[in-house]
Every structure is written in structure tokens, then in C-alpha cells.
Amino acid sequence: MVTSFTSLGFGHHFGAVHRRLELEGLCLSEISGVPEADVPAHTHEVAHFCLVLGGSYLSFLEGGLKTRPPQSVIYYPPGSTHPDRIHPRGGRCFTVGLAPSLFGKLSQLGGIDAAVLMEDGDSVWLASKLYREFISADGSCASLLNGLAAALSGHVARCANRGPGDPPTWLRHVAEMIRQHCRRAPELQELAAEVGVHPVHLSRAFRRHFGVRPSDYMRRCRIEHAMEILQDPAVSLGQAAVLCGYADQSSFTRSFKRVSGLTPAVFRRRTADRAQVQSGQEVQH
């Protein structure tokens, strides 16, 4: 008996589309979930990335359907067949579809024949950067978006073929702990104790493999979380500081500007302006 699956073409996914941008070789979309019963097992004809923005996402990797939290990045090669979906309790995802014309140029992805869950900070940072550029996109952004997509593709390909010099499992676990608990800022000693290594060794290994100190990586994760919170106009800057684990608003502002180059107030205003422009409203100050 032959089982047929729903086939989804370039730029098509199950879910409600909130934003969509199609360029030569790329299709970028922000989508939210639909009821579980409406998502059958399906096949994606083209390669794509998925970044979980909020809520959670169900993916069939590593032998079972598991919940993936925000900031999870998954790469699906062409022809991927799965029941993966946004969790029925709610969630949002950013998808990056690679048309065959572009995929053919990204030869480094050709050797990956199964979906890959990316758990390192660089994958999350690149995918998040691509998303931020997507939501602020204008007519001149095509080269930047294509460049970021190529950088993400190259990084995923390198990580999918990890060699002896790549981060060991315990170090990847540390990075995951930082992402999950960045708001309470676990101490270096706590992280080291969790994986059974000396704090000095952890710090040196982390910087060697990820290019930054654990404290810098934690700060970056907190600010990524803050950027999500600041899109809600009902949350004050002081409340955002508390929700992101900062003792006061001034500390939050200094840290935010150090990472993003903007103060939280300016970031919020620019994000709101972009949303108004995209909806066709006049921006007023």
C-alpha cells in the first residue's frame, strides 16, 4: 500500500500567514498555528529553515514528536516528510524557504539528507538577525537577506558535519542552559557544576567554540528576549527590565544599547513605526 502525503511547494506552510516576503530564491514568512487536526503528515518540496519565535513547536526528530521552545532552529532538506507543526496551544514561527535556484548554489547543504535541530547560539543569532531584517524589510534589502540566508546555510552545514574541533555535548548543554535561563542569569559556577567541569575550563572552552564569554552570550540572549517583549506596547520599559531579569531600568538600557546599538525606547519606536508603515498608516511623532 502506497501512502500519499500532502505536498507543499515553495513558500507554502500550514498556518496563518502574518507577514510574507518573496525574493529571487527566497520566501520569508511569519506564521502562527492552526488546530492540530488540520495538519496532516506532509512533504516540503524545497529546503527551508524554521525559527520558533514564540509559544512552542512540535517536531519529529530524534525518534519522536517533541516540543521545541522559542529560539529553536530547524533545517529541513528538500523532500522532508513529517507531521511537524506549531503546537495547538499556540505559537509563531519564522520560515525561510530556499528555491531550487538558490539551493543549487548552496552546495554545502547538499550533503544533509535529514532534518537537523540546531542548538548552538550562532544558529539562533543568525536566524534571529534574518528575522529582524525581514520585519524591517524594504525594496533594497534583497542582497542583505540573501547574504544572511547564505551565512545561516553555511553555518548549519558545518554544524551538521561536526568534527573533533566542534563543541562537545556538555558545552552545547551549557549554551542551551544559558538560553533557557538567561532571565535569572545563572552564575558560571552553577553552569560548571551542572556539567561537572571547572569554571575556568568552561569559560575558556566556551569562548574558543562560541567566540564570546558565557556572560556575553547570556546578555545577548536576554536582549533577544527583550526585543520580543518590547513589541507589546502595554509593557512599560520598567516592566520589560524586570521581565528580562534586570534590577533596574538603567541597567537594562545600558545592556540593551551595548548589544543592539539602540536604547529600548528607540528600538520600540522604530519597531512601531515599521509596523505602521507596513499597515499603510501614517507615522507621527
pLDDT for 138? 67
Among 142, 135, 96, 122, CA closest to 220 = 122
Residues 195 and 116 in one domain: no
Residues 38 and 101 in one domain: yes
pLDDT for 96? 94
Taking the chain (285 residues) in runs of 10, the rounded mean pLDDT of each run is 64 88 90 72 88 87 76 88 83 91 75 78 84 79 85 81 66 89 88 84 84 88 89 91 91 89 88 66 54
Residues 15 and 96 in one domain: yes
Overall pTM surpassing 0.85 (yes/no): no
Residues 53 and 187 in one domain: no
pLDDT for 2? 35
pLDDT for 129? 87
pLDDT for 280? 58
Q: Using the 3D structure, point to which of 130, 160, 190 is the last residue of a domain.
A: 160
pLDDT for 62? 60
The answer to whether residue 192 sits within a structural domain is: yes
Residues 45 and 122 in one domain: yes
Total domains in the fold of the chain: 2
Burial 50-75 (b: 16+ CB within 10 A, else e): bbbbebbbbbbeeeeeeebebbbbbb
Residues 44 and 88 in one domain: yes
Q: Using the 3D structure, point to which of 114, 137, 160 is the last residue of a domain.
A: 160
CB-hemisphere CA count at 13 Å for 133? 19
Q: Using the 3D structure, point to which of 140, 160, 180 is the last residue of a domain.
A: 160
